[in-house]
């Protein structure tokens, strides 16, 4: 065997793990270490019941993170997802309780409300040429205000039993309907980004919007649709949260946009765009869920938990920056 052949084989061997793991090896190792650490320090962490509780707790965050992944891949950011969630939740509740619409129709219109908010953000970014940070910051304020205006800041309580059962009854003893929805959305988004040409176009836009435009990709349309999808997913998350809480609350989702961005970045996405994966986002979501769950089991103050999450975000961004500089 020639030396060139051996060199080529060695190169393929070195690259293979990166290809197989999809660039999520680091976050995955971090998740495993976290689980091992909490398993050694808490008698209750390593149990089926606690694992299912973690899945229940991260469902809303995970659904929001799917949309945020697509937004960050195109080089954008969405600070409004928490407020859009609250508006969608209040719209659903108001339509069902005050307007008298059937709850399934109210749920659908709540999701449409989220999509409409995302569409407006996309239009502000593409046609008004506002930076994504400013456009979604404005939407965050408007959506939160509208959520409170609908009922003068009062919550809506008392949904049908079948609706709350979506979040409480575990089918086959494991997954509730809300967790199943989260898993199916993750799978669908992963397939879309990895195997569909339209999904791959998002990476091209995030890598270089001008080059993508010259290649025939309608950057404006893709941007608007991406933000609309993120808004619609915020609407889905609103339905899930309402089922879990058996209420609609105008204060729902306060600060969750930070956890959402953190999950995506921890999962390996780059804030400059062009890099990210649903598998990485799932690991990022689980890292935040495991952190919060484990620290709660250990009786750690919620305020200190915020410090820990902040440090994890800083480390994730630092590793991303170092990785890109090393790649150059």
Q: What is the CA radius of gyration of the chain?
A: 21
Has residue 29 been placed in a domain? no
Beta partners for 183? none
Has residue 32 been placed in a domain? no
What number is the average pLDDT over the span 238-247?
Answer: 95
pLDDT at 327: 61
Distance CA 235, CA 244 (A): 14
Q: What pLDDT digit, counting tens, does each position of 267-301 carry?
A: 989 888 999 999 999 999 999 999 999 999 998 88
Distance CA 78, CA 132 (A): 7
- pTM (two decimals): 0.89
Strands (E), 121-280: 156-157, 247-248
13-22, 28-37, 89-98: least confidently modelled range:
13-22
Task: Residue 315: give its domain's CATH number.
Answer: 1.10.3470
* Cα–Cα nearest to 257, from 106, 143, 167: 143
Distance, C-alpha 254 to centroid of its chain: 15
pLDDT band at 246 (very low <50, low <70, confident <90, very high): very high
pLDDT band at 324 (very low <50, low <70, confident <90, very high): low
Has residue 22 been placed in a domain? no
Has residue 249 been placed in a domain? yes
Structure tokens, 217 = 């990709």
Has residue 12 been placed in a domain? no
Has residue 199 been placed in a domain? yes
Q: Which residues span the domain enclosing 243? A: 44-327
What number is the average pLDDT over the span 44-64?
Answer: 92
Contact present, 75 and 125 (Cβ < 8 Å): no
* Number of domains observed in the structure of the chain: 1
Distance CA 168, CA 38 (A): 26
SS3 of residue 175 by DSSP? strand
Which phi and psi angles does 198 have, rounded to 5°? -65, -35
Q: What pLDDT digit, counting tens, does each position of 107-156 carry?
A: 999 999 999 999 999 999 999 999 999 999 999 999 999 999 999 999 99
Which phi and psi angles does 187 have, rounded to 5°? -65, -45
pLDDT at 2: 47
pLDDT at 61: 97
Contact present, 289 and 57 (Cβ < 8 Å): yes
Contact present, 60 and 166 (Cβ < 8 Å): no
Has residue 108 been placed in a domain? yes
Q: What pLDDT digit, counting tens, does each position of 199-236 carry?
A: 999 999 999 999 999 999 999 999 999 999 999 999 99
- Identify which has the larger pLDDT, 35 or 324: 35
Has residue 15 been placed in a domain? no
Is the pLDDT at 250 greater than 80, yes or no? yes
For the chain, give the mean pLDDT.
88
Terminal-residue alpha carbon distance, the chain: 33
pLDDT band at 323 (very low <50, low <70, confident <90, very high): low
Relative to beta strand 156-157, strand 247-248 is: antiparallel
SS3 of residue 171 by DSSP? strand
What number is the average pLDDT over the span 242-252?
Answer: 94
């Amino acid at each position: 065997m020639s030396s060139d052949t051996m060199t080529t084989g060695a190169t393929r061997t070195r690259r293979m793990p990166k290809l197989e793991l999809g660039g999520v090896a680091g976050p995955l190792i971090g998740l495993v270490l976290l689980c091992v650490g909490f398993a050694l320090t808490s008698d209750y962490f390593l149990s089926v019941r606690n694992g299912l509780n973690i899945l229940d707790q991260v469902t809303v965050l995970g659904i929001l993170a799917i949309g945020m992944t697509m937004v960050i891949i195109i080089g954008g950011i969405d600070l409004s997802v928490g407020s859009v969630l609250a508006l969608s939740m209040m719209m659903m509740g108001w339509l069902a309780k005050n307007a008298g619409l059937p709850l399934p129709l109210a749920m659908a219109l709540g999701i449409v409300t989220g999509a409409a908010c995302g569409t407006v953000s996309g239009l502000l970014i593409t046609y008004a040429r506002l930076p994504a940070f400013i456009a979604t910051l404005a939407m965050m304020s408007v959506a939160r205000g509208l959520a409170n205006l609908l009922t003068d800041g009062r919550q809506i309580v008392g949904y049908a039993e079948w609706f709350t059962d979506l979040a409480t009854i575990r089918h086959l003893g494991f997954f509730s309907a809300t967790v199943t929805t989260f898993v199916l959305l993750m799978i669908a988004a992963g397939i879309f980004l990895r195997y569909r040409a339209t999904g791959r176009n998002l990476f091209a836009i995030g890598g270089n919007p001008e080059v993508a435009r010259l290649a025939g990709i309608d950057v404006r349309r893709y941007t608007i649709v991406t933000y609309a999808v993120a808004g619609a997913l915020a609407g889905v998350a609103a339905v899930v949260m309402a089922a879990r809480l058996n209420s609609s609350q105008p204060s729902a989702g306060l600060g969750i946009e930070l956890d959402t961005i953190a999950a995506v970045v921890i999962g390996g996405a780059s804030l400059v765009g062009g890099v990210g994966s649903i598998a990485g986002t799932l690991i990022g979501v689980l890292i935040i869920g495991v952190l919060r769950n484990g620290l709660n089991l250990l009786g750690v103050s919620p305020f200190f938990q915020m410090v820990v999450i902040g440090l994890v975000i800083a480390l994730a961004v630092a590793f991303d920056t170092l990785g890109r500089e090393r790649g150059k």
